[in-house]
Each structure stands twice: as structure tokens, then as C-alpha cells.
Amino acid sequence: MKPISKSKTETAWLLAFGAHPDDIEFGCGGVIAAETIGGGSARLVLCSRGEASSNGTPAERTREAQRAAEILEASLEFLELDGDARLERKVAHAIRLAEVIRRVRPAVVLAPSVVENQHPDHARLGRLVRDAARLARYGGIRELQSRPPHAIEQLLFYAVTPEAEPPDLPRIWIDVSGEQSVLAWKSAMEAHASQMQTRRYVEMQMTRARLNGLRAGVEYAVALFPADPLIFDSLKSLGRGARRF
């Protein structure tokens, strides 16, 4: 497994933001695993250490997140904003997230859905990342001028829970059926042992992925939701449809 990078200049093809330790693993860990096992690079950015959690201390949750990132073969960093359950949508936060985007220079960014759900931090971070992806492109922002502008190719939202799936956005299903991907995803979720006292999260997420897979004609699939219309170079790059007609 690749070590967690301590570098502040590391680039990655895929950049995923989470409001808390475990959000990325539960919401889109299967996608991360499929990309890294396939040879891609991924960086995870967590915006709290779960300080408000009913189970697990910030130190425990930090260690769990580090272990999960190792399993997913992704690099990891923590970004200190307002803390768990205190996140606010501020321009200053969007600029800090934009600085991460400029530093990592990803093609694709994953963020929590902007639909309000069980934790208010999720939707707030989703909106902040959406703002940051725009700000990262603009050359005239004073606080960002130490790094060149960067335009990502896609911002995709993930839903930590089914209730957070955006009803007004199209969905794409990512096939995560590979045996290695499934095992890594499950292991990464299980690394967050402190949170298993709350709900059977691993079973819930694997059941969601299995139901998506049945609808898509594969074993397991994770739904992502594009923030903007997708553009394809040709019909050949469209991929297969779920029904396969």
C-alpha cells in the first residue's frame, strides 16, 4: 500500500473532500478504491476530526481515517476549519479549499451532496467545495496568487445517505464490482470502528451499492451526481447504459 503523504505539494488525479472522518469512505469509498487499484492517484481532505461525535475521540477518529486512507491507497490531509458541527459557509473557507484544489491540481473533485440530510456539515461543505472549484479558476484572487489557477474537469457529488441523493441532478453509476475494490472499500469502512456503535454502516452502504448494481446490471455500483453537464468527445466515450437495451 502507498504511504500517507506528508507532502503539501502532492498532485492527484482525484481529490475528495469530507466533512468528517468516515464521510468519504461511507459515501464514495468504493469509487476511491476502484480508481487507486486501477493505477490512479487520490488525495482525501477532511475538514474536521469528528470532535462532536457521540462515539470516538478526535484522536481515535484521526487514527481511523489514517488507516482507512492507507487501505484505499490514498494520501490524506486534515484542513482545520470551524470544527465538527460548527462549519459555516464563509468566503474565507471557500478560498482555503480553492488553495487545496490549486495545490493538488486534480481532474476530478468529489464532495458531499448539497442536499440537507442528517448532518448539516455535509451540505455546507458541498456548497463550499462548489464555490472553491470556481474560485480556483480565477487569477485575480489575492489570497490565491501564490499558485497558478486551476480548472478541474468535473465536480461530482456523493451522498453519504440515500436521503442526501439530489433529486434534481442526473446520476452516473460507477461500477466498483472488482473484487479488490470491494474488499478495500469494506476494509476502509470497517477501519472506522468507533462509528459502528451508531449504526450498521458497512452493511447499509454495501446494500445500497448492491441495489445500484442490480439496477445497473453489475455487482456493485456507487451513484455520483454531476454539478455540471457532462461533455463527451464522441459517442464512443459514452460507456454503456444501465438497461443495455
pLDDT tens-digit series, residues 16-71 = 999 999 999 999 999 999 999 999 999 999 999 999 988 999 999 999 999 999 99
> In sequence order, which residues have a C-beta less than 8 Å from that of residue 199 and are 6 or more positions away?
none
CA distance 159 to 144: 29
pLDDT-above-90 percentage for the chain: 87
The residue-averaged pLDDT of 164-178 equals: 95
Residue range 187-198, pLDDT digits in tens: 999 999 999 887
Contact predicate 127/89, CB 8 Å: yes
Superfamily of 14-237 according to CATH: LmbE-like (3.40.50.10320)
Cβ-Cβ contacts under 8 Å for 114 (sequence gap 6 or more): 123, 126, 127, 130, 157, 166
Domain ranges of the chain: 14-237
85-108 confidence digits (pLDDT tens): 999 999 999 999 999 999 999 999
Give the pLDDT score at 244. Answer: 64
